[in-house]
Amino acid sequence: MNRRRNGPATLAAAWSRLAWRTGETMLASSEVIARRSTAAWLAGATPDAHERAERVRMVSEKIDASLECGSAVGAKVLEQAMRSSGQWWLDAWRLQLGLVSLATSATPAQAQARLAHVAASAVPMMNRAAVDVLERSSAALAPVHRRTGANVRRLRLKAR
């Protein structure tokens, strides 16, 4: 069975992937907006058929990308639930047992030791949760990233 890694390195890698993809998407989006705005300005009040088709394409792409983003997040949540549901229940049970243990401490020193144990056991849980959220964010961004990259390539070729 393949075990999923959930340490700090995995969390850092997930943040890095999301940040990189976000940066690429922002740069591509700004170029697409600049190229389309320039084309719309040059077309003036009476755009030709090609320019009208480009505007229709722009609107339909946004609708399609929104639907794809929602679907991607839903699919990722389902995948994570199927993969991790047992782990989530186990984490919740361990945390609950740790808190009960903390509440039944006989001495302040025992309570302090148990609190340290509960806090330390919560770190991997929080790492898993953070990686899951970052994976969902990446899944939501993927369709937009793909479309903006394709638009930049298409509009660059069109400008030649």
* pLDDT tens track for 111-148: 999 999 999 988 888 888 888 899 999 999 999 999 99
Indicate if the pLDDT at residue 65 is higher than 80.
Answer: yes
For residue 158, is pLDDT > 90? Answer: no
Distances (CA, A) of 99 to 83, 115, 127, 151: 26, 8, 19, 53
Query: In the prediction, which pLDDT does 36 show?
Result: 92
Range of the domain at 128: 31-41+48-159
> How many domains does the chain fold into?
1
- Domain presence at residue 59: yes
> For residue 149, is it within any domain?
yes
**What's the whole-number mean pLDDT along residues 63-86?**
90
DSSP 8-state assignment for residue 5: P
pTM: 0.72
Please indicate, yes or no, if residue 9 is contained in any of the structural domains. no
Residue 106, phi then psi, degrees to nearest 5:
-85, -30
Task: Flag whether 106 is in a domain.
Answer: yes
More confident of the two residues 125 and 31: 31
Euclidean distance between CA atoms 65 and 28, whole angstroms: 15
How confident is the model over 2-16, as pLDDT tens digits? 455 667 788 889 999
